[in-house]
Structure 1
Amino acid sequence: MNRFLLVLVLVLAFNLYSVNAQNFSTHQVKKGETIESISKRYFVTPFDIYSLNPDAKKGLTPNTVLIIPISKSKKPKVTVVKELEGFKSHKTKRKETLYSLSKKYNVSEDDIKKYNKFLYANPLRKGDRLQIPKFKISEVVEDINPTKEYTVKPKEGKWRIAYKFGITVKELEALNPEMTEVLKAGEIIKVPNLEEEDVKEVDEKYSYYKVLPKEGFYRLKLKLGLEQSQLEDLNPGLKESGLKDGMILKIPFSNLTNGVIQADSEYINLVDSISDFKTKHIAIMLPFRINRVDFDSIADTKRSIKKDPYLSASLDFYSGVLMALDSLKTLGVSLKVDVYDTKYEVSEVSRIIKENNFEQVDAVIGPLTPASFQKVASELRVYNTPVISPIGTNLKLYDNVFQSRPSDDLLKSKILSFVRADTLKTNIIIISDTKTVAVANDIKQEFNQAKQIFSRKSKKTGEDEFFVTKEDIEAALKPGRNIVFLETKNEGFASNVTSVLASLIQKEDKELKEEEIEIVLVTTKMNSAFEGDQINNTHLSKLQFHFATTSKEYSESDNNAFVKKYDKLYNITPNKRAVRGFDLTMDVALRLVSSEDLYMSVKNAPLTAYVENKFAYKKKLFGGYFNDTAYLVKFDDLTIVEVKQ
């Protein structure tokens, strides 16, 4: 119920949704203001402002909007001062109470009693004449400098002081432009004006690591063998601030030398590459079809959602989008997000484009349906606006189109490559029904020596009966390793074949003179036939069932932050559509803030990966971009795991 109500409210308010960074505020420059005066107002240093607003070094122009980081310095004491300005007469009415009067006039009950002393001994009655005080409220803010002086201790270097005050070495140097490379004991320098309890001490029982440029938690895991959660436990405040170049981290004692070890990752972690903090403009287009929802009651609304597959799919996807937007806030990414209901109508898409300005939009995610997507892509070509398809394949790739879902041909190619790469002496068998004969014949052309088995047909009607016998398969098997292609969209046939195959696996028995028979099951097209109630996952695990997929399944043992947060918010684990909404939105937004635009990100970030999906865009010679990467996975002990190639 919580998830239903929350998502419904979010959808109803979607057209008002806009995102700004949580860890930052903004300031509109007024005439005569300087960086120094602004930094004092927000209790940050000029360096803090320049780091997020490099153009400000050239000078400030009135009405320019600056990004201001939330200060870590000691917060000023704010004193509220109340000054009595006069009174308002009030004659008590029936059922009025001191509480209701305090709310009505925005004063406390004690203030009313103070100026109507008879109320200390008597209850409030109808007809009582009261003097209600009127106050002038003002705030007095204590003047606190965001920095303070610090005396360098013997043998104390830059990294130790930076660690103590929760800043990077670069930030410490910016606070002290005259600072020399080697500090001297007794030297006076500037440091953030933190509360005493927020100043950390260096513990010699631990080692300390200086974060290198563009280094993320994944790289640190490879280098240091520490999970993100372990680093956050050792370094309070890291969860809120994230990793920064030059940051000093406490780690378990080791012989590592700061900043020396290198570790390269297959994937580009775009969180480490955020460089543009200007607000990006994204549009989301989904077929909510809110106009068709019956809002007379919660039961009617729920019934509408269940009956409308487009609304249901849109809600799932959008719930993931919202989680991504929230995560992006914490990274300091500022977004303006417009959400449109396409109503599953091309005419509605035309109206949206006509009545809204898309010239300054940095990217459009959606629509979901092919005709609507093609309309948006073709209309926005004139602005060169990137349009990203969440689920479509075999799209018309205009030069502004990004097909984020890998094609079926790519998935098929990945499985064929896996079988070709098998260096063992392997017997290959292809099993198919009458509806997948063409696919089976294509596989046969790839593997000429493969044996083909077709499902049995009715002797009376000649129609496919979607089953094979144990003898059919047994005749094609050989001792040793057998790779079996199963090509079908029929759940009953898939259940029949997997059950028979699982029964034919045997271990070597020298006494009985039985040779080992290993069977590895594969398919070029994973579909619902392999996921139905008739399918025994124990059989699939026993057969090491391999297939290529656009997304891998997250593991609950991964302790993924997105999955945990989603479950807490909606009281349900995210389905594939929700995860895709999260992954795709994260990728698009991070590409925009780490490169000049989405097109340049294709070169700068050749491969990215998130919870379940990864993206590696390639450009057609004459056309747009397609995702050229997919996962190879297999069933292993009743779970689906990625197969490294």
Structure 2
Amino acid sequence: MTSVRNHQLQLSGNKWLFFIGIALLAAGCSPKVVPVTAPAKSNAASAKKEPEKSAEKPASARVSTISMLLPFNLDNLNGGQQYTAGTLSRANLSLDFYQGFKLALDSLSSKGYNYKLQVFDTKDQPSEAHGLAYNPAIRTSSLIIGPVFPDGLQAFTSILSGSGKSIPTVSPLSPAAPSTIKDQNLVTVATPLEYHAQSAAQYIAEHYKPKKVFILKSGYSEENNYIGPFKKGLDSATKNKTKIIAPTIVRGQLNGLIPQLSLTEENIFVIPATNQAFLMVTLHSLDSLAQKYPITVFGHPSWIKFNYLKADILQRLKTHITTTERVDYKSPAVTAFIRNYRKIYHTEPTHYALMGFDEGMYFGGLLGENPDELKKLDKNEFSGLLNKYNFEKKSGLGWINTHVNILEYNNFELKKVE
């Protein structure tokens, strides 16, 4: 059974409030993916006649309390206020994630697990998240999901961890480095950038064994968040035998690198940039060089979202991109999820709904089976509809998902190579 606790949803004529209010209030009565069958009642006479037979195994008496802290921004629905494009986007994100997570708990309820899901609005304000850390209902939870964004998460965990509470606190969506939060109870689900960089370095070392690797920089300091772990990973994988050449490229000028290029061996270029103007010019220049030199490119994981990057150029450059998320829409499990989501919520599931479902199945399943399993995440790998979880424990940083896929352009689409 899943019950949902709601907090001060003030009704008005606003369409959005109606939608969120209905979602949160009615979710506790929503249909289950697999309906729960109550144990059949038996009277004393029937029990005496067949003592060797028992009714269907009853649901566990244990109720797992989960607190979910999401930025619904419900205050924007009050009279005289309104959503901006940004706050509306985050409210949409919150609702989609909540619905996917709730659907997972309903599915797990068929195993006899019991949950109480408490939903809180962080209002996308660190001060609100800070205040929620003092809430007794949250402090007595078995599991906390959220806050979503790093500043709110940091404000929340700084108080909760200081109280001596050891409640697993899941960062459900953000790949921000756990070092920015520094909480031993933190569970980071979205693989941080450093693991993407290290995975790319490991793959390059194993599959190409290059004598040198070119890192093309745009000059923005944020690229160091990728470059540092990549260099460390490559040095470790090659025992410092691969030379790293890292020039800052201006206006796509690559002529200075030509004397160092090989005509016979693959020239590996790593591009940690996300700036559109830089990428458009630099990739065009590399495409010109590729007419004479064998070139393979490894890009930033954000590239998978950039529609302006041209697939034909990326394919000619044998471009690789790291990612943690991959959906097989032909999978029976994905098809079943989409069908059930449509039936219950009368809308199409989004990326965030899939994330919510995966996290609900994983953490809800561990809680339902044995809450102590939350202390052994490294022993509990998981393959979901969208993502895979391969957690490792880092001292002072909590649990971190390290799973990364390597994708390569093939027939003008990204396909998994590892």
TM band (smaller chain): 0.7 to 0.9
Q: Do 1:282 and 1:336's aligned partners in 2 also have CA atoms closer than 8 Å?
A: yes
Q: Do 2:168 and 2:185's aligned partners in 1 also have CA atoms closer than 8 Å?
A: yes
1:556 corresponding residue in structure 2: 329
- 1:384 is the counterpart of 2:166: yes
Amino acid corresponding to residue 370 of structure 2 in structure 1: S
2:11 corresponding residue in structure 1: none
Deviation at 1:587, TM superposition (A): 1.2
Q: Do 2:301 and 2:322's aligned partners in 1 also have CA atoms closer than 8 Å?
A: yes
- TM-score, normalised by the number of residues in structure 1: 0.52
Q: Do 1:541 and 1:636's aligned partners in 2 also have CA atoms closer than 8 Å?
A: yes
Deviation at 1:535, TM superposition (A): 1.2
Which deviations, in whole Å up to 9, do the C-alpha atoms of 1:222-250 show, x marking residues without a partner? xxxxxxxxxxxxxxxxxxxxxxxxxxxxx
Structure 1 unaligned spans of 5+? 54-66, 68-275, 457-465, 507-515
SS of the aligned residue for 1:308 comes to helix
- 1:642 is the counterpart of 2:416: yes
SS of the aligned residue for 1:483 comes to strand
SS of the aligned residue for 2:220 comes to helix
1:291 corresponding residue in structure 2: 75
1:488 corresponding residue in structure 2: 273
1:23 corresponding residue in structure 2: 35
Q: 1:383 to 1:639 in 2, by over 3 A?
A: same
2:359 corresponding residue in structure 1: 584
Match runs of 1:128-277 below 5 Å: none
Amino acid corresponding to residue 278 of structure 2 in structure 1: F
Match of 2:104 among 318, 321, 324: 324
2:216 corresponding residue in structure 1: 431
SS of the aligned residue for 2:215 comes to strand
Distance 1:407 1:527 in 2: 12
Distance 2:79 2:294 in 1: 57
Q: 1:284 to 1:538 in 2, by over 3 A?
A: same
Q: 1:473 to 1:285 in 2, by over 3 A?
A: same
Distance 1:16 1:643 in 2: 43
Distance 1:11 1:350 in 2: 24
2:10 corresponding residue in structure 1: none
Which deviations, in whole Å up to 9, do the C-alpha atoms of 1:5-63 show, x marking residues without a partner? 7996245552674379653345799xx965955999xxxx94443xx34xxxxxxxxxx
1:631 corresponding residue in structure 2: 405
Q: 1:444 to 1:47 in 2, by over 3 A?
A: closer
2:372 corresponding residue in structure 1: 597
Distance 1:493 1:23 in 2: 53
Deviation at 1:434, TM superposition (A): 1.8
SS of the aligned residue for 2:409 comes to strand
Q: Do 2:197 and 2:230's aligned partners in 1 also have CA atoms closer than 8 Å?
A: no
2:143 corresponding residue in structure 1: 363
Q: Do 2:213 and 2:242's aligned partners in 1 also have CA atoms closer than 8 Å?
A: no
Distance 1:339 1:604 in 2: 29
Deviation at 1:366, TM superposition (A): 0.6
User: Cα RMSD between the aligned structures?
Assistant: 3.9
Q: 1:390 to 1:7 in 2, by over 3 A?
A: farther
Match of 2:64 among 261, 265, 280: 280
Amino acid corresponding to residue 556 of structure 1 in structure 2: Y
2:125 corresponding residue in structure 1: 345
Q: Do 1:397 and 1:625's aligned partners in 2 also have CA atoms closer than 8 Å?
A: no
1:449 corresponding residue in structure 2: 243
Q: 1:19 to 1:546 in 2, by over 3 A?
A: farther
State the identity %.
18
Q: Do 2:27 and 2:102's aligned partners in 1 also have CA atoms closer than 8 Å?
A: no
- TM-score, normalised by the number of residues in structure 2: 0.76
Q: Is 350-359 or 317-326 further displaced after alignment?
A: 350-359
1:225 corresponding residue in structure 2: none
Q: Do 2:67 and 2:141's aligned partners in 1 also have CA atoms closer than 8 Å?
A: yes
Match of 1:372 among 152, 155, 161: 152
Q: 1:33 to 1:379 in 2, by over 3 A?
A: farther
Amino acid corresponding to residue 125 of structure 2 in structure 1: E
Amino acid corresponding to residue 639 of structure 1 in structure 2: E
Deviation at 1:622, TM superposition (A): 4.6
Q: Do 1:386 and 1:402's aligned partners in 2 also have CA atoms closer than 8 Å?
A: yes
Amino acid corresponding to residue 90 of structure 2 in structure 1: Y
SS of the aligned residue for 2:385 comes to coil
Q: 1:394 to 1:34 in 2, by over 3 A?
A: farther
Distance 1:333 1:342 in 2: 28
- 1:501 is the counterpart of 2:286: yes
Deviation at 1:431, TM superposition (A): 1.7
Q: 1:355 to 1:331 in 2, by over 3 A?
A: same
Distance 1:409 1:401 in 2: 17
Q: Which has the higher helix share?
A: 2
Which deviations, in whole Å up to 9, do the C-alpha atoms of 1:508-556 show, x marking residues without a partner? xxxxxxxx84322103x3225x64343102222332322322x223133
For these two proteins, the number of residue pairs brought into alignment is 385
1:107 corresponding residue in structure 2: none
Deviation at 1:329, TM superposition (A): 3.9
Q: Do 1:17 and 1:337's aligned partners in 2 also have CA atoms closer than 8 Å?
A: no
Deviation at 1:503, TM superposition (A): 4.1
Higher Rg of the two aligned structures: 1
Q: Do 2:194 and 2:230's aligned partners in 1 also have CA atoms closer than 8 Å?
A: no
Q: 1:394 to 1:440 in 2, by over 3 A?
A: closer
Which deviations, in whole Å up to 9, do the C-alpha atoms of 1:384-418 show, x marking residues without a partner? 22211113423334332212222222221111111
Deviation at 1:426, TM superposition (A): 6.0
Distance 1:340 1:432 in 2: 42
- 1:419 is the counterpart of 2:204: yes
Q: 1:481 to 1:370 in 2, by over 3 A?
A: closer
